Amino acid sequence: MYQSLANPSHPAHAAARGKDSIWRGVLRPALTVFVVLSAIVGLLYPLAVTGVARLLFPEQAAGSLIVRDGKVVGSRLIGQSFTGERYFWGRPSATGPQAYNAASSGAANLGPNSPVLAEQVATRVAALRAAHPDQRGPVPADLATSSASGLDPHISPEAALYQAGRIARARQLPESEVRALIVHATEGPQLGLFGESRVNVLALNLALDDLKR
């Protein structure tokens, strides 16, 4: 009536063999693949990419930092807020709680028909016209609208030239000298094909300060 536990056909032995089969056939290979891939993708690959980047592109791998007098003053990849009349102004930033907050990158998420966006742009345009009374043409769009990231470090050459007169007056410089500085700082499309010409605002403002050093 009763089967001995020593009998290989006993249900307990069959259950144990089933569990061992699941471990050997399913769980152990899955765990092995998980550990191996985690080590490769989560450790070895990032270390290899970082090592190659630091070897071939040391400046970019370190964050494209701009160093002045031994101190890091910013990055070529992240904009900064300039409000003084002696400096070029960058694009508006929608990040919070302060402008160009790299920990809170994002756009304003306002659609083209948004009355809030229309009011913001109108306010910015009015302020720009008041600060540049010598300019009669349209205000460059990138001076009145924020970028998708809120961190854009560049403006268009047209936006920089729009501000040349104000800066020349504030620094008591010939406007032609300021315009020449803009032309020299203008970067063309990447590889000559991708994107548009642009000016890095931080680099341009540092070049402005160098004129008086």
> Rounded to whole angstroms, how far apart are CA atoms 87 and 112?
30
Nearest Cα neighbor of 163 from 83, 79, 76, 87 is 87
SS3 29: helix
- CB neighbour burial string for 180-193, b if at least 16 within 10 angstroms, e if fewer: ebbeebbeeeeeee
Mean pLDDT of 44-71: 87
pLDDT of residue 20: 65
pLDDT of residue 6: 52
Percent of the chain with pLDDT over 90: 52
Residue 131 has pLDDT above 90, yes or no: yes
Instruction: Please give the C-alpha separations between residue 110 and each of 79, 120, 205, in angstroms, as whole numbers.
Output: 21, 10, 30
Mean pLDDT of 184-203: 90
Kindly state the tokens that stand for 127.
């302020």
